[in-house]
Amino acid sequence: MQFPAYLERLPFIGSIAGPSKRGPMMVTSWDQANVYFLVVKERKDSLTATAWGTVQRDSERPPLALLKEYLDEHKIHVARLLLLLPRTDLEMTTVEVPPAEDAEVAALVRAEVEQLIGDGDHELVVDYRLLEGATPAPLPQVGDTDTIAEQSDDALGERLRSHSAVAFSMEHSELEAWEAAATELGLPLTALTSRQTAPLLPLGQQRVFRAPLSVLIVVYEGEVELSFLRGSRLASLRTFRAGSHEISSLTEQIQLEVQRSMSLMDFVTPGESPEWLLLTRSPLDHAASEDDDAMSLCEALDARSVSLTISMEPGMVDRGQDAMPAPDPVLIGAANAFLLDRLSVDLTNPKLPPVPPNPMLRWGAIGGFAAASIALVAYTLYADVRDLATKVSEKQQELVEVESVANKVQEKADETRFVEQWLADQVDWLSQLQRLSSLFPEGQLANVRRLSAAVDGSTGVFDLSIQVNDPSRVAELENRLRDAGFSITSKRISEQANNTEYPWQFEARIAFAILPLDERESTFVLPTDQADESGKAMDESVGMDAETEVSE
């Protein structure tokens, strides 16, 4: 989907216009003799190689056409294309970025590139990568007074905040030609980046750059790429043509070019020697012959061999992939960087400066905001008045309802107090009689001849006439009742000679406290009609003395 240039700068438009990260992706690059490709599938947070190989170049046919023919012949399905352009197909320029904020760097780099390369007749597509390792030295320490005196404050500030950058550029028509060529062959272009910067991020994650100064060497057919790093920070890029691929001649030429490059770098101190790293393929079980020259070159340069690997889809060995060299490590590095969304250079989505504000839009926005503010204030005042009037009406209605509810609550409260008073006057005589019965002696030892009950304020009273067979039963019964929480008073103990079974008789008054209503465990309330009849019966029973025989 194509959008105007001013819309493509918006982040969400870029996400819509950009290619979808779905389906197998092919990473490809080439040199003077071969076209290299690698097909990968995304497996959650990792990549799996499904196909790879090398196609011999034909001077009369473009590399993508040769590659498409190979894919169709071997029935390899590809949904996306990540293109790595060599130095011969991509303009590379080193520029100095003056002190600026991060948001202004893209515009400054583009201006420097247009000044160095173009005459303004063609629109350029520019992307860049900062050379962090080539950043000038920081400000001297406070004790270095001689150094500070030699430099002005402005120069020191400029050195502290300025950066070097390597810019990659091509004409917009060339980018459209690459996209059209890829689309015509059924390979939609996902990203277009520099071949030389592709393996740097994965190698840095593997911590292969251990020395303070390193040089990474990548050898192709007819050319050699050099990457200088300060620690793990990129400091400089260099590409030169290889005069011969004979080991001794190539070794001598690489050593000479490295020394020449270092002599021109202001971030290298005199006499400093870098660690030499040579990027090589990791041979498979049955394909090590092609890397013999690379290992010989490592020994000749006294370089450490480094490489990148990728997991392979199960069954690749059975399909004959073990008969060819391992995937190109540069392609593996580009695929991993793309998976992490950390391609340092991508000319299909280059770093762009922020869109400058339009003055008319600014004043229009200010006027619109002012008009909207006035309208909002007026509407808010009107809405507040209307809300206040509504609230007053609602409060009046609530007052009427609350007064009505308050009257009903008062009536219920009066009824509740009456019921509570009535319940408080009730005495659970049956439970008290049950307690007395459990404390009395057995039937052959004592006999209750008369029992009456009455209420005296907050105290319940039983008046009893009791016959016992032995005077000691009187004290025993009194002790039991007192231990159970009753108050007992015995009087008129007399002997009856005419009663041989219970010769002793005495009168006793037993009192107990009536618990308040809120301390009682439960209260049984009869229906209204039964409660009236029960109340009358209780009044009659309490008001008279009844002779009662108790037998066990």
Supply the pLDDT for residue 161.
55
Task: Report pLDDT digits (tens) over 199-248.
Answer: 999 999 999 999 999 999 999 988 999 999 998 899 999 999 988 878 88
> Per DSSP, what are the bridge partners of residue 238?
226
Spatial neighbors of 296 by CB under 8 A, at least 6 apart, are 247
Residue 325 — pLDDT band, cuts 50, 70, 90? Answer: confident
User: Mind listing the pLDDT tens digit for each residue in 81-133?
Assistant: 999 999 888 889 898 888 878 888 888 888 888 888 765 667 889 999 998 88
296-309 confidence digits (pLDDT tens): 888 888 899 999 98
Q: State mean pLDDT over 374-402.
A: 91
Residue 54 predicted with pLDDT over 60? yes
pLDDT, mean of residues 195-199 = 92
Say which residues have a Cβ less than 8 Å from residue 123's Cβ, sequence separation at least 6: 171, 172, 173
CB atoms within 10 A of CB 498: 5
Predicted pLDDT of residue 323: 52
SS3 content of the chain, % helix, strand, coil (to 5): 40, 25, 35
Residues 408, 508 contacting (CB under 8 angstroms): no
Q: Which residues pair with residue 84 across a beta bridge?
A: 193
The per-residue pLDDT for 471 is: 81
pLDDT at 315: 62
**Position with higher pLDDT, 266 vs 281:** 266
Q: What is the pLDDT of residue 345?
A: 92
As a whole number of angstroms, the distance between CA 82 and CA 335 comes to 8
Amino acid identity at 194: S
Instruction: For residue range 495-514, list pLDDT tens digits in order.
Output: 777 877 888 888 888 888 88
Q: For the CA atoms of 268, 271, 272, 277, what is the dihedral angle to 10 degrees?
A: 110
465 vs 156, 257, 419, 461, 492, CA distance in Å?
Answer: 120, 133, 35, 13, 10
Residue 290 has pLDDT above 70, yes or no: no
**Cα angle, residue 258 at apex, residues 253 and 262 outer, rounded to 5°:** 150
CA nearest neighbour of 56 among 34, 37, 36, 74: 34
* Of the ranges 73-77, 151-155, 456-460, the best mean pLDDT one: 73-77
pLDDT digits (tens, 9 = 90+) for 133-184: 876 544 444 444 444 444 444 444 444 457 789 999 998 999 999 999 898 8
Residues in the chain: 552
Q: Tell which residue, 463, 464, 469, has the closest CA to residue 496.
A: 469
Average pLDDT for the chain = 79
- Supply the pLDDT for residue 531: 47
Indicate the DSSP class of residue 515. Answer: P
Q: Classify burial at 32, counting beta carbons within 10 Å of its beta carbon; exposed 0-12, middle 13-18, buried 19 or more.
A: middle
pLDDT of residue 495: 79
